[in-house]
Amino acid sequence: MTAYDIIMKKRRGEELSDSEIREIVNGYVDGTVPDYQMSALLMAICFKGMTPAETAALTLAMMNSGDTFTPSEELGALCIDKHSTGGVGDKTTLITAPVCAACGVYVPKMSGRGLGHTGGTIDKLESIPGFRTSLSHNEFIDTVRKAGFSVSGQTGSLVPADKQIYALRNATATVDSIPLICSSIMSKKLATGADGIVLDVKVGDGAFMKDEESAEALSVAMIDAAKILGRKCTAVMTDMDKPLGRAVGNSLEVIEAAEALKGRCPDDLFEVSMTLAAEMLYLAGKGNTDECRAMAENAITSGKAFDTFKAMVGLQGGDTKALEDYSLLGTAKRSLDILSPADGYISHISCEKTGLISLELGAGRKVKDGDIDSTAGIVFNCTVGSCVKKGDILGTLYTSSECDIDSIAEDFSRVFGISQEKPIKKPSVIKIIR
């Protein structure tokens, strides 16, 4: 069947076969299917949708477009992965991976860099002096074997179909199609060989999915695809109507994660991290959900999780002393406190605006290969529901970049809402779908 026939079939709302999906994906990767035909198919999918079987077939075709890994075979044990759909202040990988590794579960994790207002785990870890994220396959597996986990950058040969299709989706306004989001995420997770995957699906102002209905639809689609392809999968829907934790920015988030692993953690970050870690341990067969939650919390209180994090950092060339002496991570050249203009309760903290402000400070990339300022970012002194007095410090801006910090400060002051009534507290974990 030609690409034309496949496009027409989907345009009519008919179900594509595994072979038809595989044929057009492979054709696009090898150049025999041009951009304009793949664009037409993406738009047809956007309008007509895909069945769970079609979504699974698309995921599999994309996964097999490049290299695949089977770390569980090399390590001789189950491997569990975690993926976040992207948020502001989301440093949960730096907490959940060492927690699970400390509990005896291998977590081989390939992560990406940040682009725009959402940060990348790789960028955060590279703020540690000497830390290497470009590892050979043998180095990656050896680090997992010794420390229980490793975080490495994705190789260029991993799921090339996703790289090409995502760029086209971005240019053709087809990014928000649930089957296309699902296949993009799951193809990468499955290509890296995870036996079980816990998905942190963000919901709210700072997330791609703004409402619970669309977040649940995406969660179910990803779980269905994983199930059809024989993998264990759980989705945890978490709140992103405000930044997660108190720190936003690369080295600042490393500090907050290190403090969390030492037992000093903001409530929302702790709840999300422990829930995700417990679900990872549950998929690995470590016990029921209550037992796994207790196990995860004990990894923190015993100090084992922090020791595991230090071990991984050392194995990947990082200066472990920086996890104790935070000045070794670098100090921002400029900082500015933002003061409360009135008495009241913090009723709102705009998550998306916070991310955009951290970008202006230098903490993120405006273009794919842009530089970042590892010292830049924001530390909040309050959260939604906090009682503040006029003149209290709401948060502090940090930067070493050449930016107009005074103008940024004006924007940051508008991130906060202050009311006379205490707002109703939203749960950090909204729903778990197994």
Residue 368 annotated among the catalytic residues of the structure: no
User: Which residue among the candidates 9, 83, 242, 365 is catalytic per the annotation?
Assistant: 83
287 and 343 belong to one structural domain: no
User: Which residue among the candidates 109, 188, 293, 353 is catalytic per the annotation?
Assistant: 188
Residue 424 placed within a domain: no
CB atoms within 10 A of CB 303: 13
Beta bridge partners of 151: 109
**Dihedral sign of CA atoms 81, 156, 179, 359 in order:** positive
Residue 425 placed within a domain: no
Residue 415 sits in a domain whose CATH number is: 3.90.1170.30
User: Which residue among the candidates 84, 184, 187, 350 is catalytic per the annotation?
Assistant: 184
261 and 311 belong to one structural domain: yes
d(CA 150, CA 336): 35
Residue 350 placed within a domain: yes
224 and 112 belong to one structural domain: yes
pLDDT in tens, the chain (434 residues): 899 999 999 999 999 999 999 999 999 999 999 999 999 999 999 999 999 999 999 999 999 999 998 999 999 999 999 999 888 999 999 999 999 999 999 999 988 765 555 568 999 999 999 999 999 999 999 999 999 999 998 777 889 999 899 889 988 989 889 999 999 999 988 998 889 999 999 999 888 889 999 999 999 999 999 999 899 999 999 999 999 999 999 999 999 999 999 999 999 999 999 999 999 999 999 999 999 999 999 999 999 999 999 999 999 999 999 999 999 999 999 999 999 999 999 999 999 899 999 999 999 876 666 788 999 999 999 999 999 999 999 999 999 999 999 999 999 999 999 999 999 989 999 999 99
168 and 266 belong to one structural domain: yes
Q: What is the DSSP string of 89-102?
A: S--THHHHHHHHHH
Please count the residues of the chain.
434
Helix (H) or strand (E) holding 253: helix 250-261
Beta bridge partners of 110: 152
242 and 306 belong to one structural domain: yes
User: Which residue among the candidates 81, 90, 123, 162 is catalytic per the annotation?
Assistant: 162
| Count of structural domains, the chain | 3
Residue 348 annotated among the catalytic residues of the structure: no
Give the domain-ending residue among 323, 358, 387. 323
Q: Which domain holds residue 361?
A: 331-419
User: Which residue among the candidates 10, 113, 169, 202 is catalytic per the annotation?
Assistant: 169
The label of the residue with tokens 């956007």 reads 46
Give the domain-ending residue among 323, 355, 388. 323
Question: b/e string for 151-175 if b means 16 or more Cβ within 10 A?
Answer: bbbbbeebbebbbbbeebbeebebe
Beta bridge partners of 238: 202, 429
38 and 119 belong to one structural domain: no
Burial of 217 (0-12, 13-18, 19+ CB in 10 A): middle
382 and 252 belong to one structural domain: no
Residue 162 annotated among the catalytic residues of the structure: yes
Threshold 0.85, pTM exceeds: yes
Beta bridge partners of 149: 107
Beta bridge partners of 215: none
308 and 361 belong to one structural domain: no
Residue 28 sits in a domain whose CATH number is: 1.20.970.10
Report residue 21 CA to chain centroid gap: 28
178 and 128 belong to one structural domain: yes
